């Protein structure tokens, strides 16, 4: 986007999102490196600058653990449970959510005003939304643990083990027995629509 396009969007109330500021800001880079050494997991960061009185993003939840550090200005945050909706995997979702409407939100868990130097943590699956108060707001979101779960680990480990077994033993590559679908119990029932 050109400078003029960004300026017009800002005047219209858009939040500016700076992806991966650790790539060009040495203090953020050093912080990410220290966190990665301490936790043994990858960390990422994004910066958000929101005009006065505006909501940065629609209410949503992420698939990561989130730490928000308020750098400049103030932001009023509301944290909610997700809607009681079949599309919301809660707690501990494997993917980020869609944007929610205010009337869909679940129970209010916390409401707070972050000021420069304040740090807010919330676990993945926590719906959050914030409005800049009294002037513009600048905060740094630091996140971690994306895809670091037993499900993710086993999904990769078992697939790797199965591929290795198939590469080393022709038995794993042989055809299934005749009438296989009739002897597979619940798997057969699920496939036939009777279960």
Report pLDDT digits (tens) over 66-85.
999 999 999 999 999 998 88
- With beta carbons less than 8 A apart as the criterion, state whether 115 and 121 touch: no
Instruction: State the burial class of residue 7 (Cβ atoms within 10 Å of its Cβ: 0-12, 13-18, 19+).
Output: exposed
Instruction: Report the relative pairing of strands 127-144 and 108-114 from DSSP bridges.
Output: unpaired
5-58 pLDDT, tens digit each: 999 999 999 999 999 999 999 999 999 999 999 999 999 999 999 999 999 899
């Amino acid at each position: 986007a050109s400078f003029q396009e960004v300026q017009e969007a800002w005047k219209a109330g858009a939040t500016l999102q700076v992806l991966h500021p650790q790539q060009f800001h040495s203090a953020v880079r050093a912080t990410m490196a220290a966190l990665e050494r301490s936790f043994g997991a990858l960390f990422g960061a994004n910066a958000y600058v929101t005009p006065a009185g505006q909501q940065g993003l629609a209410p949503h939840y992420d698939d990561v653990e989130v730490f928000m550090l308020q750098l400049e200005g103030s932001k009023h945050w509301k944290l909610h449970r997700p809607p009681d909706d079949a599309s919301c995997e809660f707690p501990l979702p494997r993917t980020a959510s869609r944007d929610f409407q205010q009337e869909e939100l679940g129970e209010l868990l916390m409401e707070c005003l972050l000021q420069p130097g304040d740090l807010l943590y919330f676990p993945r699956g926590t719906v959050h939304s914030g409005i800049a108060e009294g002037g513009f707001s600048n905060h740094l979101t630091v996140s971690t643990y994306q895809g670091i779960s037993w499900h993710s680990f086993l999904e990769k480990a078992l697939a790797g083990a199965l591929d290795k077994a198939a590469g080393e033993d022709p038995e794993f590559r042989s055809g299934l027995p005749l009438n296989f679908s009739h002897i597979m119990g619940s798997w057969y029932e699920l496939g036939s629509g009777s279960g």
